[in-house]
Amino acid sequence: MNERVQPVYLEEKLEEIRADGHLEYRSKSLPTWCPGCGYFSMVEGLTTALKRLEIDSKDTVVVSGIGCASRFPFFVNTYGFHTLHGRVLPVATGVKIGNDALTVVAVGGDGDAFAIGGGHIPHAARRNVNLTYLVFDNGIYGLTKGQTSPTSALGFKTSSTPYENRDAPLHPLMMLLSYGASWVGQAYAGRQHHLADMITQAVSHQGFSFLRVLSPCVTFDKTNNTYANLNTTVRDLPDDHDNSNLMAAMNQASRDDHPALGLYYKEDRETLEQVMKATASRSVKTGTGRADKQ
Amino acid sequence: MIKSNDTDIQIAICGSAGDGTIASGDIMKRAAAAMGFNVIAFDVYPPEIRGFGKCISRIRISSKQTYSLKQESDVLVSLNDSHAIPHAAEVRDFGVVIYDDNLVARVAEGGHISAHIDAAQIPYGFSIRQISEQATNSSRSRNVVILGCLAGLFDLSAENFHDIIAKKFATKAQSVIDDNTKAFDAGLKAGRTVFRLDDIKVRAGKIKSNGAEAVMMTGNGAVVRGFLESEIESYFGYPITPATSIMERLAVEMPPRGGKFLQTEDEISAIAATIGAAYTGSRAATATSGPGLALMAEMIGLGVMAEVPSVVVVSQRGGPSTGLPTKTEQSDLNLAVFGGSGDAQRIVLAPTNVEGCYRCAGMAFDIAEIYQTPVILLIDLYLSNRYETVVPADAGTYTPKPRPQINLEGGENYKRFEMTKNHISPRALPGQPGLMYTATGLEHNEQGRPNDDAHMDMSIKRHEKLKGAVHYPGLNVSKRFGDKGKVDVGILGWGSTFGEILETMYQAQAEGISCSAMKVVMLSPLPLQSIEDFFDDCREVLIPELNYEGQFAGLVCGALGRPVTRLSRATGSPMVVREILDEVRRLSGREPAPVQAVGAMGARS
């Protein structure tokens, strides 16, 4: 960066950031991620989205599991719950049921989501819990220093696959579509404005929204999901993509070699909270048994 | 103590799965409770739903307070001779055996129960199948016919039976009620017309005065009632024997009260969602058994670390692994008290009877919220499934205590994990302005930010804050019964076994042995002072419990470093009073030490 341009650029940028107002959603703790990590754009994306939607930070809970991505709650100025490895969705479901006036955002990485936490995703999706699940997918375990993950590419050499990864990677978008998620989208950490737009849409969706964010790990992946590679392989969903058509969404989701960004699928369906309210009013009408009738 | 003119009879009904054995016992105990008797009842059934497994329903009906089932039954009713034959021996001398003496098929020699009745037992043969067929055109009412026989034989009020039959089948067609009533009446007629011995008699004049108020419930039903009265708001559960009925009952009871009920995909998500909901301030609970608790251990550690209140009911069954799903055991004490990683002390309450289940469940949410930590309610199959008559608490007893308000200027000064005098910090709930914080399973500083250096201070805080729990008002964390002051033998117990311990103690006292018993309800933190006082007063301390390793004895020995005698039994069945009594006699010096194969764990430690 040359000296002539720098001061002007910073001043302008800072002014723009302050004027935007989303800084109030940032906590005083600076992110602890490696410089260049794709996750920085996620903090920017979520804070921008919350500001746009005018959701009060006191009414927001960011829930996470374990991993690099799961440190996220500490870097935003909302209520947060940094929980256990793989358990972000059941905890987030409990938070939403405990107080459904809250906006609940679950975050985590690909290992937290698809390895240890894989069993919980179908159930949060099919119940249509009204929360947003952001998965920061970098295809590697970063916090434990570079082991293979369920979305690691075939042939990837990591510290746990020194002779190449031979386990076929999962297709997260196809999984979520078949699980019955009512909002499925994909974004890329290298396209920050689009990412903020997608997070905004996901958070405003009534029901379970799943956003996969392709994100490079600059420290432990020099070969696969790098900015250089992703910049050339990602594409936009075709203009004529019908996001109410599940099969069309499946078709697009199957092409992981050229991942498409955008909203794959969206449907309006009764949320878990609505189901519970309906059950409550039905139970009052039909009457109940007695507590001692055991 | 039961005096000779008191009513105290135990009826055992034995049949094959599908005979309606459990249903029959159910009507019997409800009718007895409606008559105002104290009832303790416990069913034994196989893990299979159908098939030919053995079912036994045992009901102890008494005009005085009793604490456990009796070792010997006064009456055995056989609905299936091949299952009932081994139980003929459990009938006391001059006790009654009721069976079908008019079989349609030939049975092999020795295949009929009449060949197994002792000379001192009194046989009553009825044409059970024939009476059923004549009354209802079906042999399926045999289980109700025998109730009629019992009522006739013992002069029990037919009105109460009619009433319970009508209630039990209220949701079925009228013809079902009519047929069952006809079957009962036919049995009643048969029971009234046989020759009766005077030995077994239910004296209607001895009905206890508060009978009308008492409600009969199981341990699980009592937990549900305690939860509802303390205004449970969220429940997350996964089916597992013997805790399932808590979930099933709450699924019915919670929605009309505006409560949130969810069957989760596994036990991990059940406790995770419980802690998630509790984090927002909701009164949240889950229930499971040992295998589920093993899965929940990590998340309970998060509840301890992040100081989130929650209530976990654990109904133990035989273990390890899948173990004995339909048999009782007290072998998850170590898991409940210590389970999980790190130094993760939590509160563990182990009620000793159905009433205790009700009272502990009623107080559990308040305790969890005051101490900001998980509370485990540790019961077992014997307590979960057995019926007892319970007098409900006054309305409002378990209404939630108001939450302390946080009076802070706002975000800048708020410390979620602030060091305070009593080590309990102000807890903000999502939605409260200016108090945003992140709860975490990482070690953290007062603000809740990850910080390894705070580990020692925070460990002190998390342990010290629980110390006051042993003085929680209204909760008998331990209680001594029997002789006061110095005694020869003290029996220390916990959980469902304490009923047998009390029965033993009263029998030992009757034999002139200087004896006392103490129950410990709070297993973590232990009420060490009162346990130590008990040890000081007892020349010998005996700890009977239903597990192989003597887990409670290990806990107490580890905490006090004092010698105890262990009576550890892993049989899948409740403790046997006679066995405890033999040990008490031996320790008191009354009888020479019997040679017993108790294994290494049964040795004095």
- Name B61's bridge partners: B9, B39
Q: What is the average per-residue pLDDT within B242-249?
A: 97
| Mean confidence (pLDDT) of chain A | 92
| Per-residue confidence (pLDDT) for residue B339, from 0 to 100 | 96
A69 min Cα distance to partner chain B (Å): 14
Q: A 68-107 residues with CB below 8 A of B?
A: 73-74, 77-84, 87, 89-99, 101-102
Spatial CB neighbours of A37, under 8 Å, sequence gap ≥ 6: A31, A68, A215, A216, A217, A218, A219
Tell the residue number behind the tokens 């990602």, with chain if given: A234
Q: Do residues B132 and B138 lie in contact, with contact meaning Cβ atoms separated by under 8 Å?
A: yes
Which of A195-209, A241-255, B209-223, B341-355 has the weakest average pLDDT? B209-223
From the list B216, B233, B245, which residue is nearest A292 (CB)?
Answer: B216
Sign of CA dihedral A232, A236, A238, A239: negative
| Per-residue confidence (pLDDT) for residue B196, from 0 to 100 | 73
Residue B485 binned pLDDT confidence (cut-offs 50, 70, 90) = very high
| Per-residue confidence (pLDDT) for residue B109, from 0 to 100 | 82
- Angle of helix A192-204 versus helix A40-52 axis, rounded to 10: 50
Q: What is the average per-residue pLDDT within B343-355?
A: 97
Residue A9 has pLDDT above 80, yes or no: no
> Bigger pLDDT: B145 or B213?
B145
| Per-residue confidence (pLDDT) for residue B35, from 0 to 100 | 87
- Name B180's bridge partners: none
Q: A 168-227 residues with CB below 8 A of B?
A: none
Every domain of chain B and the residues it spans:
8-209, 216-390, 405-474, 478-602
Q: A 253-292 residues with CB below 8 A of B?
A: 272, 276, 279-280, 282-284, 287-289, 291-292
| Per-residue confidence (pLDDT) for residue A294, from 0 to 100 | 39
Residue B199 has pLDDT above 80, yes or no: no
| Per-residue confidence (pLDDT) for residue A292, from 0 to 100 | 39
Domain B8-209 and domain B478-602 have a common topology: no
Task: Map out the domains of chain A with their CATH numbers.
Answer: 9-280 (3.40.50.970)
Residue B600 has pLDDT above 70, yes or no: no
| Per-residue confidence (pLDDT) for residue B213, from 0 to 100 | 62
Q: Which of B376, B477, B354 is nearest to A292 (CA)?
A: B354
Residue A6 binned pLDDT confidence (cut-offs 50, 70, 90) = low
Set of chain A residues whose Cβ sits within 8 Å of the Cβ of B279: 61, 81, 91, 94-95, 98
Residue B210 has pLDDT above 50, yes or no: no
Set of chain B residues whose Cβ sits within 8 Å of the Cβ of A79: 430, 436-438
Residue B188 binned pLDDT confidence (cut-offs 50, 70, 90) = very high
Predicted structure pTM score: 0.91
> Bigger pLDDT: B46 or A71?
A71
Q: What is the average per-residue pLDDT within B299-327?
A: 97
Residue B193 has pLDDT above 80, yes or no: yes
Which of B27-41, B189-203, B290-304 has the weakest average pLDDT? B189-203
Q: Would strands B284-288 and B260-263 be described as parallel, antiparallel, or unpaired?
A: unpaired
> ipTM of this model?
0.93
Distance CA B71, CA B90 (A): 7
Give the percent of chain A with pLDDT over 90: 84
Torsion of CA B429, B433, B435, B437, to 10 degrees: 70
Q: Which CATH superfamily is B8-209 part of? A: Pyruvate-ferredoxin oxidoreductase, PFOR, domain III (3.40.920.10)
Distance CA A185, CA A134 (A): 10
Q: What is the average per-residue pLDDT within A206-231?
A: 96
Q: What is the pLDDT of residues B25-77, one digit of tens each?
A: 999 999 998 888 889 999 988 777 667 789 999 999 988 888 999 989 999 99
Which of A244-248, B5-9, B416-420 has the weakest average pLDDT? B5-9
Which of A34-38, B308-312, B412-416, B503-507 has the weakest average pLDDT? B412-416
Count residue pairs from A and B with Cβ separation < 8 A: 173
Domain B216-390 -> CATH class = alpha beta
Exposed/middle/buried for residue B501 (C-beta within 10 Å: 0-12, 13-18, 19+): buried
Closest alpha carbon within chain B to A26: B436
Look up residue B397 and give its two tokens.
């007893």
Interior angle at CA B78, CA B76 and CA B83, nearest 5: 105
Residue A290 has pLDDT above 90, yes or no: no
Q: What is the average per-residue pLDDT within B485-493?
A: 97
Integer angstrom CA distances of residue B79 from A150, B55, B193, B515: 58, 10, 21, 41
| Per-residue confidence (pLDDT) for residue B5, from 0 to 100 | 66
Give the percent of chain B with pLDDT over 70: 92
Sign of CA dihedral A211, A212, A216, A220: positive
| Mean confidence (pLDDT) of chain B | 91
Residue A23 has pLDDT above 90, yes or no: no
Q: Which of B249, B309, B231 is nearest to B276 (CA)?
A: B309
Set of chain A residues whose Cβ sits within 8 Å of the Cβ of B249: 291, 294
- Name A60's bridge partners: A103
| Per-residue confidence (pLDDT) for residue B36, from 0 to 100 | 85
Q: What is the average per-residue pLDDT within A245-274?
A: 96
Residue B102 has pLDDT above 90, yes or no: no
Taking an 8 Å cut-off on Cβ atoms, the answer to whether B268 and A102 are in contact is no
Residue B490 has pLDDT above 60, yes or no: yes
Residue B166 has pLDDT above 60, yes or no: yes
Domain B478-602 -> CATH class = alpha beta
* Interface probe, candidates B42, B260, B266, chain A, greatest A C-beta count within 10 A: B260
From the list A99, A120, A292, which residue is nearest B280 (CB)?
Answer: A99
Integer angstrom CA distances of residue B118 from B88, B100, B123: 8, 17, 9
Q: What is the average per-residue pLDDT within B529-556?
A: 98
Q: What is the average per-residue pLDDT within B305-326?
A: 97
Q: What is the average per-residue pLDDT within B572-578?
A: 92
Distance CA A186, CA A262 (A): 5
Q: What is the pLDDT of residues A84-116, one digit of tens each?
A: 999 999 999 999 999 999 999 999 999 999 999
Residue A206 has pLDDT above 70, yes or no: yes
Residue A17 has pLDDT above 80, yes or no: no
